[in-house]
Structure 1
Amino acid sequence: MDHLPHLNRTLDALDPPRWAPPASDATHLVRKVHELRGVPLGELCPADLRTLVSQQVALPYVLPLAVRLLLDEPMLDAYFYEGDLLLAAVNVPTSAWALFPDLAMRLRTVVMTLPEAATASLPRGATEELARFVARTESLR
């Protein structure tokens, strides 16, 4: 994929300004996101990508990484359940997908060809989220 430069760099370096340290009373999620901004992109695991994508942090850098995984394994269990990274990705705003229309179309094709059996185990409302993604990305063609 040609949207994967800078795998040895961190989000702090690529997505300025560098964030200040989290407050001492910050939630675990806030602390985790701050921590992930200091990890080189190439070292982010699927769970890290799910966290960053779902929190919409530095999407121009992390979304292509997530899609690369999803094209190979759309129902990947990144942390919580099978398909959790996919659902995080399809809920990204259309404006982020507009930066990568080719990736959006490739993921759209994957979503459209998922067998019903694969999506049956997803949480309630997931089928509708997938359908909304397919409809929203139609305009990116």
Structure 2
Amino acid sequence: MDPLLHLDRTLDDLDPPRWEAVPANATRLVRTVHGLRRVPLGELRPADLRTLLAQQVALPFVLPLAVRLLAEEPLLDAYFYEGDLLLATVTAPEGAWAALPELEARLRTIVAGLPGAAVKELPRGSDTDLARFIARG
């Protein structure tokens, strides 16, 4: 299923089972992620995608959305710093990419094309994460 064809649907619709109601004592992050599962895919912002990626939620649906944005702006500042969406995407578990080999190859090409100077501006260790992602291919 191509998630980009379902931009009007939510992760709760596409990634069963629907999550239970948020517990009363839930952290802010848990409340945020629960809420994001109820937002139509087409309305998820870059920061939302970064959060879902970091929490490894519904990756088969979130990764294509992130790569689509990264193809346009690889070092997009989603919330914390320039390149944070990219780093959240390349550090997704290797198994999450198993059903998305073309998408992984596309992102690998994007990462390989980043200027060295831009990579040096990313947080410490980012160059290792990027190199590890490229080497998996």
Taking structure 1 as the reference length, what is the TM-score of the superposition?
Answer: 0.93
The residue number in structure 2 matching 1:117 is 117
Aligned-residue offset at 1:7: 0.5
The residue number in structure 2 matching 1:33 is 33
Q: Which residues of 2 match residues 1-141 of structure 1 at below 5 A?
A: 3-136=3-136, 138=137
SS at match of 1:25: coil
Q: Partners in 1 of 2:104 and 2:113 — Cα distance?
A: 14
Aligned-residue offset at 1:119: 1.1
Question: Compared with structure 1, are the counterparts of its residues 24 and 3 closer, same or farther at alpha carbon in structure 2 (3 Å cutoff)?
Answer: closer
Q: Partners in 2 of 1:110 and 1:63 — Cα distance?
A: 14
Aligned-residue offset at 1:96: 1.1
Query: Which consecutive segments of 4 or more residues in structure 1 shift more than 6 A?
Result: none
Q: Partners in 2 of 1:14 and 1:106 — Cα distance?
A: 24
Paired residues in the alignment total 136
Q: Partners in 2 of 1:3 and 1:127 — Cα distance?
A: 29
Q: Partners in 1 of 2:55 and 2:22 — Cα distance?
A: 15
Aligned-residue offset at 1:5: 1.6
The CA deviation string for residues 83-138 of structure 1, in whole angstroms up to 9 with x for no partner, is 000000000111111111111111101111100111112111000000110112x1
Q: Partners in 1 of 2:57 and 2:3 — Cα distance?
A: 17
Q: CA RMSD in A?
A: 1.0
Q: Partners in 1 of 2:109 and 2:18 — Cα distance?
A: 36
Q: Partners in 2 of 1:128 and 1:95 — Cα distance?
A: 19
What letter is aligned with 1:65?
A: L
User: What are structure 2's unaligned runs of at least 5 residues?
Assistant: none
Q: Partners in 1 of 2:11 and 2:113 — Cα distance?
A: 33
Q: Partners in 1 of 2:82 and 2:29 — Cα distance?
A: 21
Aligned-residue offset at 1:3: 4.9
Question: Compared with structure 1, are the counterparts of its residues 3 and 35 closer, same or farther at alpha carbon in structure 2 (3 Å cutoff)?
Answer: closer
Taking structure 2 as the reference length, what is the TM-score of the superposition?
Answer: 0.96
